[in-house]
Amino acid sequence: MVKDSVGEVIIHYALNVKFEDLDQQVINEVKRRVLDGLGVALAAFMAEPVKIARSIAKNHRSNVEATVWGGTLDTSSIEWAVFTNALMVRYLDYNDTYLSKEPLHPSDMIPALFAAAEYRGGLSGRDLITAIATSYEIGVRLCDAGSLRLHGWDHVNYIGIAVTAGLAKLMGLSESEALNALSIATVPHAAMRQSRVGELSHWKAAATANSSRNAVFAVLLAREGFTGPDAPLKGEMGFIRQLLAGGEFNDKLILDLSSIPSPKRILDTYIKPYPVEYHAQSAVDAARMIRQEYGKAVEPDDVEAITIDTFKAAYDIIVKDPPEKWDPKTKETADHSLMWVTAVALLYGTVELYHYKPENIRDSRVLSLIRKMKVNVDPELDKLYPSAIPNRITVKFRTVGN
């Protein structure tokens, strides 16, 4: 049997939370996140990587199946259905977010939990709501406990742990089986943060889908008695030592789950107003206000210089990769470029999905505005993060007649 003090608490908590433990506000918020996730998923239905995944999923049939979302009523093996649906939720970078020592997009977990509930049959909406709230609680606490990003690893590793716990609950695993599933999902599948640096690819959105697919695979194996490595999180060569430098992890935040607190941390997560990386949301707001005050599109010929003052996490994630973030060529890079989304908002007064069409990504006016930008990390703004995501935009206009 797998032995792991942190893993054991996570699994015991997940398997023992009941719907009656949930506050009405949490129940309502789970429903909002389901609707938000379905909305952004359907909006991504025709995206290139989604079409690729859907075409493959149609060819993978099984006795263990779930629906591939999108109105086609196609079914596929549960692993491929989960991968495709989770890719749809994540692709537009428009689903919810949590910011702490590690950022997370918790609704990435919803497609896997939906699929498990569908496959099991006989489960109620209450069962699904409870599993979602519980997985959110675990994922958010993991983000508070330690930063994967600072050590070169991807936040989707936390998704893998949290969604495995929720899946184990829905699939009716025992604690022993669930611990083995957690181990099988975690030890072989450490995702690198290389997915989010340089020119970003389709895999940026697929990384959490893959973590969910791995979690489903692990749960199916463990349910049949397959065992996983001992001490996957706390072991000598386990998750915390390898991915978090051996000690930069606050165990207490996870061990506190042993008292079975009511899952409420979904209330600390946020739904996005714009389809851009979350750290750039306030920059879009600021740019919109500037354009509104200016009274028309802020054209490159109108501008002498643009200064963006930001905080370190934003700089590290959506600024620092030259030349890619300063000259984006893909949708995935554009929505993770603080400069690009600011330029679009200055020109158009907002950022919407149609701005990510290839011809709009390479809009010469947007690129010209970017070339007039300078970005600084402001220590005073940095102190406000993660309680706030402060960005300050300063546009110096050319004087009339110049």
CATH code of residue 229: 1.10.4100.10
Sheet holding 392-397, edge to edge: 373-377, 303-310, 392-397
Looking at 205, 240, 268, the residue that finishes a domain is 268
Looking at the structure, tell me whether residues 33 and 82 fall in a common domain.
Answer: yes
Map tokens 């701005």 to a residue.
355
Task: Give the amino acid at 12.
Answer: H
The number of domains in the chain is: 2
Q: CA-to-CA distance for 6 and 186, rounded, in angstroms?
A: 13
Looking at the structure, tell me whether residues 292 and 262 fall in a common domain.
Answer: no
Looking at 238, 268, 298, the residue that finishes a domain is 268
Looking at the structure, tell me whether residues 232 and 130 fall in a common domain.
Answer: yes
Looking at 212, 247, 268, the residue that finishes a domain is 268
Looking at the structure, tell me whether residues 93 and 131 fall in a common domain.
Answer: yes
Looking at the structure, tell me whether residues 187 and 309 fall in a common domain.
Answer: no
Is the bond into 322 cis (omega within 30 degrees of 0)? Answer: no
Answer whether residue 134 is part of any domain.
yes
- What is the pTM (predicted TM-score) of this model? 0.93
Q: CA-to-CA distance for 242 and 285, rounded, in angstroms?
A: 39
Answer whether residue 273 is part of any domain.
no
Looking at the structure, tell me whether residues 309 and 211 fall in a common domain.
Answer: no
Q: Can you list the residues of the chain whose pLDDT is less than 70? A: 1, 72, 400-402
Is the bond into 386 cis (omega within 30 degrees of 0)? Answer: yes
Looking at the structure, tell me whether residues 230 and 318 fall in a common domain.
Answer: no
- Residue among 222, 158, 190, 173 at smallest CA distance from 11: 173
| pLDDT score recorded for residue 402 | 44
Answer whether residue 262 is part of any domain.
yes
Q: For residue range 136-184, what is the model confidence (pLDDT) as tens digits?
A: 999 999 999 999 999 999 999 999 999 999 999 999 999 999 999 999 9
Answer whether residue 155 is part of any domain.
yes
Range of the domain at 325: 278-397
pLDDT cut 90: percent of the chain above it? 93
359-384: string of b/e by CB count within 10 Å (b at 16+)?
A: eebebebbbebbebbebebbeebbee
Looking at the structure, tell me whether residues 44 and 108 fall in a common domain.
Answer: yes
CATH code of residue 386: 3.30.1330.120
Looking at the structure, tell me whether residues 294 and 391 fall in a common domain.
Answer: yes
Looking at the structure, tell me whether residues 233 and 356 fall in a common domain.
Answer: no
Looking at the structure, tell me whether residues 184 and 291 fall in a common domain.
Answer: no
β-pairing verdict for 373-377 and 392-397? unpaired
- Residue among 159, 72, 161, 47 at smallest CA distance from 110: 159
Instruction: Give whole-number Cα distances, 139 to 59, 229, 263, in Å.
Output: 32, 22, 11
Instruction: Give whole-number Cα distances, 13 to 5, 135, 225, 239, in Å.
Output: 12, 10, 21, 20
Looking at the structure, tell me whether residues 290 and 144 fall in a common domain.
Answer: no
